[in-house]
Structure 1
Amino acid sequence: MGAPPVPPPSRRTFLQVTGLSAASVALGISAPATADASPARPIPDGAFALGVASGDPRPDGFVLWTRLAPTPLAVDGHGGMPASQVPVQWEVAEDSRFRHVVRRGLAIASPDLAHAVHPEVRGLRPGREYFYRFRVGTQVSPLGRTKTLPAYGDQFTFATASCQAWYHGYFAAHRDIARRAPDAVFFLGDYIYEYGIVAGDNLWRAGVTVGPEHGVEIETLEQYRLRYSLFKSDPDLQAAHAVAPWFLVWDDHEVQNNYGAANSLYGVPPELFVHRRAVAYRAYYENAPLALDSLPQGPDGRIYRRYDIGSLARVHLLDTRQYRDPLPVDEADRVSEQRTIMGAEQETWLYDGLRRSRAPWNIVAGGVVLSAVTDDRTEQWDGYPANRRRVLEAMGGAGTSVMLTGDIHRHVASELKLDFADPASRTVGVELVCSSVGSNGDGTDTDAYAKDWLQHPYMKLYNARRGYVHSTMTRSELTTEFVNFPYIQADANAQPNVVTRFRTPATDPRLEAL
């Protein structure tokens, strides 16, 4: 099982691709207590122009993130920073005025990691709200709010978002997520897009312009860094990051549209494509609040991981890109028992985690839709039906499963059947598919694809406008709101609209409209 192996780059080419030392990584997490906290030279004003973030929360802590970039859109991708190391102080407090600081430390922002730092904070209390900030020289970052996971847990609120093509519209969804301040945000892929941004073609966000350096498909580390800077310059995205910890997984556009493993659909040979994947994964780590476990090693990066929200829910974050088999060549290939979208090792990891879970809920979050739609949607789980059956069987042996996915730029709600071809088959959970934050512009309430989805009795919602999903989970039920916006291209001021609310009982997995 799994994608055909590709010869890894040699050590020499790996170093050429990464240019990264273990010391740079370690110092970006924690510097020695004896390190000098003062920059060797003044840092230009606006060092925190890309905001702050937290992620990978646990009962005793979380990962903090910022990236120094006083000139975020500098063409070289270095954000206007000097080619030298810069000490960055950080503090975590129990109050927003920092009267009760409980942790502080120092990290070194290095040009090797685009002057990003990833402090990993531990030793905190479970289920608590905390505030954090960074300091470099005399400059102080915006305030961040975050939370640790509970030790027990009776209620957990979370938002689900994906697909934020900055050039297609404003991020009203992130503005509303920030307003509601959930316990956590699940971001399910397509954080950036690799396409060239060209006025008169795909630049639909009104009132903005970009330089010619943005008009080409990105391929180099510097170009990926610049693209992250462009997207992260959005104030509403920064606000959503600053209000809650994020769980992140990638999908395809963080590298290239519809890629799988080392296979490009655009003619890049595998032995060359792994280099592109390496720089793309590197830039992803640099710009996300990820723990050291997710640091890529050249073209390989493990982002599937597991968390327990006390005894309320077990969370599994999936990678459905890096290990997938190529798209099927025919129907016999598509239905082959050997095909996998996850790879054998990740499959075993997921099934073991579900089997061992004692929580009433199991959250499984990935990039592409699990539910059966049509056999020609082979880029989704429809191209891997045997793997899907194995996942559904594993879900059926655990508590109620909640599958969180994105990718399709539509809101969809589906009941997960052990056998989608049999309407009487047991329901093992629900799938909540969030629409895009920005991709494909304003959208519509329905479109030509609706019939493909709504032909199935287990599909309970289809809406093609932009938005996000907000959920509240308790021990007895899950309440879900699908939120959309009437427009996003003109400005960021559109007001949210709750399209549909669903209730899912913990002991009877179904979507009950409210």
Structure 2
Amino acid sequence: MPVQPLALPRRSFLTLTGVAAGSAVMLGTEPALAGPGQLPTDPLFTLGVASGDPHPDGVVLWTRLAPEPLALDGLGGMPDIAVNVAWDVAEDEGFRRVVRRGVERATASWGHSVHAEVRGLRPDRVYWFRFRAGGQVSPVGRTRTAPARGARLGDVTFAFASCQNVPDGYFTALRHLATEDVDFILHLGDYIYEGSSAGSIGRPHLPAAEVFSLSDYRIRYSQYKLDVDLQAAHAAAPWIVAPDDHDVENNWAGDHSQPDSEPDQDPAVFRLRRAAAYQAYYENLPMRRSSMPRGPEMQVFRRLQFGDLLQLDVLDTRRFRDQLLTDQSQRWDPARQILGAEQEAWLLAGLGAATARWKVLGNQVFMFDADHTAGEGERYGMDTWGGYAAARQRLFDGLVERDVENFLVVTGDAHRSAASDLKLDFADMSSRTVGTEFLGTSISSGKDGADMDDLGAVWLAENPFLSFHNAQRGYQVCRLGRDEMRTDYRVVPFVSEPGAAVSTRASVYVQSGRAGVAHVSE
């Protein structure tokens, strides 16, 4: 009988096996391929299907074999065998016109996950896909390829979301998101929460304790991916994903764990935990092999193109940042990094050379400079770009030097929504506006929320570059046209029970060639 994973003290975590680079679980020799009768007869595709990272000629297709997804050893009820998993891509939902077929090998060392990188598809087309293994057929997913690079487009529509926490609320927003007509969905992190929480809605975390080991992270992902609303959203459109802090540990920075009861934790211990978290993240999301982790390293930042309208730069604001400050007077230290030198240079070079009309950053923590204190004095969040103010200034100065127009930032993490002008100097409202940021709320983190709360009132009073604020749960839909873009803030009134309706709380507009919010329709 499998043993219940234990919550180990952090100093004992170094002794864990199977998560470091070069360990048997990641690089070991796979057993022989599964033969007849070796696969479980229970349903294999319990965690659904997904697609992601659309290119003009193809996408990556994902599934994971898990007949017992919550098995206590984290192996999903699968034996230690390799399995051939077939996949089909068709032009119709009934699979009468199959245009591509292939086979991927699902191995125990990667949690029997499948990442099929399909090529040879036509650009800007809707396709349907499915998997087959052990005589079983998976649910059907819908995906879409990106338009041809440079193709003249009338519009591109995408949604972005973040922060889904099982104990905090139901994923009702994702059920509604699954019905939206979007080209892709951008998920900006906190796909899971790593902590221990029972919540108040009868959906406690599994395992009950904070997760540290690969088996623990696998169980936590299985719990989340069993959610039918999450599965529906994955099956509806391709996803582009990037992790944030809770996908590993709250407020981690680079090789440094969250400052807590053990602030002197050895970075080597934390790297082991990050290796486990990164592997489980990859195993459960539709990412390309170029993002396959190698121990505690994973390639997150990347660039995707959508015709002549959109260049999307997906950022990694966790792996290369310096430690969080405890003294905000140091936030302008020019040596501090949030992107790291390599990613910062890559981003500015790509923005300077961009030919697409709209340049969008998929960003984990908000960029605008939000004073959290009413009246006299100022207080800024150190986990956001505000804690790395000099690095943000380098980015903004680089935008001006390169004459970058139509610069947009979409952001998660904060469990609230806001629309902000991005000022070259946030202390001077007459300074140049270099772009616009759309901060998006959570799927369920923070529980039901409210239209306005105390922090929101302070933000609007103290930060005149903000045009909108809301603290309900939901997601955002962005429509980029040739002359104008619009972000619809879609909200649900509650997540403490299922069944909430969705509505548009506000629509925020930006005009092409004019930085900043043009107007807000509420």
Question: Within 5 A, what are the aligned runs for 1:90-101?
Answer: 90-101=87-98
CA displacement 1:396-436 (0-9 Å, x = unmatched): 42121110111010011111112211111222221111100
Q: 1:233 aligns with which of 208, 217, 226?
A: 226
Q: 1:446 to 1:401 in 2, by over 3 A?
A: same
> What does residue 414 of structure 1 align with?
420
SS at the partner of 1:412?
strand
Residue of structure 2 aligned with 1:311, choices 301, 308, 311: 308
Residue range with higher mean Cα deviation, 283-292 or 395-404: 395-404
1:69 match? 66
CA distance in 1, matches of 2:346, 2:161: 25
Tell me the residue number matched to 2:183: 183
Structure 2 residue runs of 5 or longer lacking an equivalent are 1-13, 372-378
Contact 1:197 1:214 in 2 (8 A): no
Partner of 1:326: 323
Query: By how many angstroms is 1:471 displaced?
Result: 1.1
Report the alpha carbon displacement of residue 319 of structure 1 after superposing the two structures with TM: 0.4
In the alignment, is the contact (CA less than 8 A) between 2:132 and 2:138 conserved in 1?
Answer: yes
Q: Is the 8 A contact 2:186 2:240 kept in 1?
A: yes
SS where residue 466 of structure 1 aligns? strand
In the TM superposition, residue 308 of structure 1 has moved relative to its aligned partner by 1.0
Partner of 2:100: helix, strand, or coil?
strand
| Structure 2 SS opposite 1:56 | strand
Question: Which structure 2 residues correspond to residues 239-250 of structure 1 after superposition, within 5 A?
Answer: 239-250=232-243
SS in 1 for 2:425: coil
1:425 paired residue among 420, 431, 445: 431
Does structure 2 conserve the Cα–Cα contact (< 8 Å) formed by 1:354 and 1:394? no
Please tell me whether the aligned partners of residues 45 and 139 of structure 1 are also in contact (alpha carbons under 8 angstroms): no
Q: Cα deviations across residues 460-503 of structure 1 (Å, max 9, x unaligned)?
A: 11111111001111111111100111101112x10002110112
Q: Distance in 1 between matches of 2:34 and 2:125?
A: 29
Deviation for aligned residue 1:332: 5.0
Moved more, 178-187 or 419-428: 419-428
Alignment of 1:389 onto 2:396: no
- Once the two structures are TM-superposed, the CA of residue 300 in structure 1 deviates from its matched residue by 0.9
Contact 1:133 1:141 in 2 (8 A): yes
CA deviations over 1:41-86 (Å, ceiling 9, x no partner): 2333221110000011111111110001111111111111111111
CA contact (8 A) 1:38 1:137 kept: no
Gap change, CA 1:276 and 1:359, over 3 Å in 2: same
- Assess if the C-alpha contact under 8 Å between 1:48 and 1:66 holds in 2: yes
Structure 2 CA distance for partners of 1:395 and 1:490, relative to 1, 3 Å? same
Q: Is the 8 A contact 2:64 2:114 kept in 1?
A: yes
Q: Aligned equivalents of 2:368 and 2:479: distance in 1?
A: 22
- Contact 2:21/2:296 (CA < 8 Å) preserved in 1? no
Q: What displacement does 1:258 show? A: 0.4
CA distance in 2, matches of 1:39, 1:116: 20
Does the aligned pair in 1 maintain the 2:48–2:138 contact within 8 Å? yes
Deviations 1:219-260 (Å, cap 9, x if unpaired)?
000000000000111101001000111110111001110010
**Percentage of matched positions with identical amino acids:** 43
Who is 1:501 aligned against?
Answer: 507
Aligned counterparts of 2:269 and 2:440: Cα–Cα separation in 1:
33
**TM-score for the superposition, normalised by structure 2:** 0.90
Contact 1:415–1:459 (8 Å) recurs in 2: yes
- Inter-partner Cα distance in structure 1 for 2:156 and 2:455: 33
Cα deviations across residues 65-112 of structure 1 (Å, max 9, x unaligned)? 000111111111111111111111001111111111111100111111
> Which of residues 470, 490, 496 in structure 2 aligns to 1:489?
496
Structure 1 equivalent of residue 443 of structure 2: 437
Task: Name 2:42's counterpart in structure 1.
Answer: 45
Check if 1:263 corresponds to 2:256: yes
**Matching of residue 378 in structure 1 with residue 371 in structure 2:** no
Query: Counterpart of 2:515 in structure 1: which amino acid?
Result: P
Q: How far apart are the structure 1 equivalents of 2:398 and 2:273?
A: 34
CA 331–445 in structure 1, closer or farther in 2 if over 3 Å, else same: closer
RMSD: 2.2
| Residues 305-344 of structure 1: per-residue CA shift (max 9 Å, x gap) | 0011111111100000000011235355321111110100
Return 5+ residue gaps in structure 1 as ranges: 1-7, 28-34
CA contact (8 A) 1:38 1:136 kept: no
Alignment partner of 1:473: what SS? strand
Correspondence list, 1:449-460, <5 A = 449-454=455-460, 455-460=462-467
Q: Is residue 2:174 matched to residue 1:205?
A: no
Cα separation, 2, equivalents of 1:465 and 1:256: 24
SS of aligned partner of 1:438: coil
Quote the Cα distance in structure 2 between the aligned partners of 1:165 and 1:345: 32
1:513 is matched with which residue? 520
More displaced 10-residue stretch of structure 1: 259-268 or 53-62: 259-268
SS in structure 1 of the partner of residue 178 of structure 2 = helix
* Corresponding residue of 2:6: none
Partner of 1:408, secondary structure, is coil
Distance 1:22 1:154 in 2: 49
1:147 aligns with 2:144: yes
> Over residues 191-224 of structure 1, what are the superposed CA-to-partner deviations in whole Å (9 max), with x where a residue is unaligned?
00011133xxxx2334x466xx521000000000
Match of 2:339 among 331, 338, 342: 342
Query: In structure 1, the residue corresponding to 2:436 is in which secondary structure?
Result: strand
Counterpart in the other structure of 1:31: none
> Cα distance, 1:367 vs. partner?
0.7
What displacement does 1:17 show?
4.7
2:113 corresponds to: 116
**Counterpart position of 2:454:** 448
The alignment covers a number of residue pairs equal to 489
